[in-house]
């Protein structure tokens, strides 16, 4: 007896694969913050009421991160150059063992006759290495073209612009090689508005410091840290210098500073002028 068997083909559609769930790490808490550098790091341009002294970018970032008073350190001082940061400020910073270090230095170097971009790059590299050895995220800055803010004769303007460009190129090479975040001041919205600058046009105003703090906070967040209180760009708590204060600063501080830096910077500017004449 022959039995016929019919075989039915059943097409099975595979169940679509589900994408693998990727765990997103929670933001880290930055408990210790250090600010290194020159007079901008000190906070000049953002005076405090009643108590006197300066506030500036450091306390604004500390407040944004929720850093307590004993977790904040600022060994910066006016006139500091990159070598000063390395030799005089970094030891205290390393002892503090910060989670984040902000670095604003290099502009004073551009005004000195012994300016050496390669030496600045080497010093910056060493600053990053020493702080990274204690687990610190270091965030330096590349600078704006300050000749667009501070009124100078055309020849001096070209000279300063050239120096700043050389400085930025050196800093850019270091941050690329070391893989660290860097705040580009030239790209900050409003960086060249006069409201961002104090009366001397050398240091940020309260608004300018808030802009710096906001830029730093953004990079800190991108580095994986929690920023529970974003920086406000609304000015409050500072002091608006009076006209008498403007004049006093110009006579007692501004003109002497220009004389000192001018004597050191003019030889370099003269070379720029001579090259311009030859071209």
With cut-offs at 50, 70 and 90, classify the pLDDT of residue 199.
Answer: confident
Go through 244-253 and write b for each residue having 16 or more CB atoms within 10 A of its CB, e for each that does not.
eeeeebeeee
Q: What is the pLDDT of residues 247-270, one digit of tens each?
A: 555 555 554 555 554 555 455 444
Q: Cα–Cα distance between 124 and 122 in angstroms, integer?
A: 5
Q: Is 25 inside any structural domain?
A: no
Look at residue 132 and give its three-state secondary structure: helix
Residue 8 has pLDDT above 60, yes or no: no
What per-residue confidence (pLDDT) applies to 268?
47
Q: Is 89 inside any structural domain?
A: yes
Cα angle for residues 85, 149, 165 (degrees, 5° grid): 55
Q: Is 272 inside any structural domain?
A: yes
Which residues share a beta bridge with 128? Answer: none
Cα angle for residues 245, 249, 252 (degrees, 5° grid): 130
Q: Is 9 inside any structural domain?
A: no
What per-residue confidence (pLDDT) applies to 19?
60
Look-up of token digits 């210098």: 241
Residue 74's domain comprises: 33-278
**Rounded mean pLDDT, 240-245:** 54
**Rounded mean pLDDT, 83-106:** 98
The domain total for the chain is: 1
Q: Is 81 inside any structural domain?
A: yes
Question: What share of the chain has pLDDT > 70, as a percent?
Answer: 75
- Beta-strand ranges (E) seen in the chain are 33-37, 72-73, 100-104, 137-139, 141-142, 183-184
What per-residue confidence (pLDDT) applies to 35?
98
What per-residue confidence (pLDDT) applies to 234?
93
Which DSSP string do the residues of 40-72 spell out, in sequence order?
Answer: HHHTTT-BPTTT-SB--HHHHHHHHHT--GGGE
Residue 131 has pLDDT above 80, yes or no: yes
In 3-state terms the chain splits into helix, strand, coil percentages (rounded to 5) of 50, 10, 40
Paired tokens of 52: 């006197």
Cα angle for residues 206, 209, 211 (degrees, 5° grid): 110
With cut-offs at 50, 70 and 90, classify the pLDDT of residue 88.
Answer: very high
Cα angle for residues 174, 219, 171 (degrees, 5° grid): 20
**Could you tell me the pTM of the whole model?**
0.81
Lowest-confidence segment of 47-51, 127-131, 137-141, 246-250 by average pLDDT:
246-250
Q: What is the pLDDT of residues 27-74, one digit of tens each?
A: 999 999 999 999 999 999 888 877 678 899 999 999 999 999 999 999
Look-up of token digits 């702080």: 131
**Rounded mean pLDDT, 134-158:** 87
Residue 245 has pLDDT above 80, yes or no: no
Question: What share of the chain has pLDDT > 90, as a percent?
Answer: 61
Which residues share a beta bridge with 47? Answer: 54
What per-residue confidence (pLDDT) applies to 93?
98
Look-up of token digits 């906001």: 214
Q: Is 17 inside any structural domain?
A: no
CA R_g for the chain: 26
Paired tokens of 209: 């410091």
Residue 168 · residue 143 · CB < 8 Å: yes
Q: Is 130 inside any structural domain?
A: yes
Q: Cα–Cα distance between 71 and 56 in angstroms, integer?
A: 17
Nearest CA among 254, 251, 249, 229 for reference residue 239: 249
What per-residue confidence (pLDDT) applies to 12?
53
Q: Is 258 inside any structural domain?
A: yes
Q: Cα–Cα distance between 163 and 269 in angstroms, integer?
A: 10
**Rounded mean pLDDT, 1-12:** 51
Q: Quote the mean pLDDT of the chain.
A: 84
Whichever domain contains 108, its CATH number is 3.40.50.1110
What per-residue confidence (pLDDT) applies to 272?
45
């Amino acid at each position: 007896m022959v039995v016929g068997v019919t075989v039915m083909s059943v097409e099975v559609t595979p169940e679509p694969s589900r994408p693998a769930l990727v765990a997103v790490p929670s933001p880290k808490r930055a408990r210790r913050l250090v600010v290194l550098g020159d007079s901008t790091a000190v906070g000049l341009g953002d005076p405090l009421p009643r108590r006197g002294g300066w506030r500036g970018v450091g306390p604004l970032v500390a407040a944004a991160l929720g850093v307590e008073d004993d977790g904040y350190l600022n060994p910066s001082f006016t006139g500091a150059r990159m070598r000063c940061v390395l030799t005089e400020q970094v030891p205290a910073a390393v002892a503090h063992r910060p989670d984040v270090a902000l670095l604003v230095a290099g502009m004073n170097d551009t005004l000195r006759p012994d300016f050496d971009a390669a030496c600045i790059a080497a010093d910056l590299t060493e600053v990053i290495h020493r702080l990274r050895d204690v687990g610190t995220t270091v965030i330096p800055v590349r600078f704006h073209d300050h000749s667009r803010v501070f009124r100078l004769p055309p020849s001096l303007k070209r000279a300063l612009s050239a120096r700043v460009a050389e400085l930025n190129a050196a800093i850019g090479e270091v941050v690329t090689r070391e893989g660290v975040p860097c705040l580009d001041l030239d790209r900050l919205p409003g960086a060249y508005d006069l409201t961002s600058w104090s009366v001397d046009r050398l240091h940020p105003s309260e608004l300018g410091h808030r802009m710096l703090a906001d830029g730093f906070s953004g990079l800190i967040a991108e580095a994986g840290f929690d920023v529970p209180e974003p920086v406000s760009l609304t000015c409050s708590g500072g002091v608006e210098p009076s006209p008498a204060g403007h004049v006093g600063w110009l006579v007692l501080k501004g003109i002497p500073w220009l004389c000192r830096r001018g004597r050191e910077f003019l030889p370099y500017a003269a070379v720029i002028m001579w090259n311009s004449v030859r071209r």
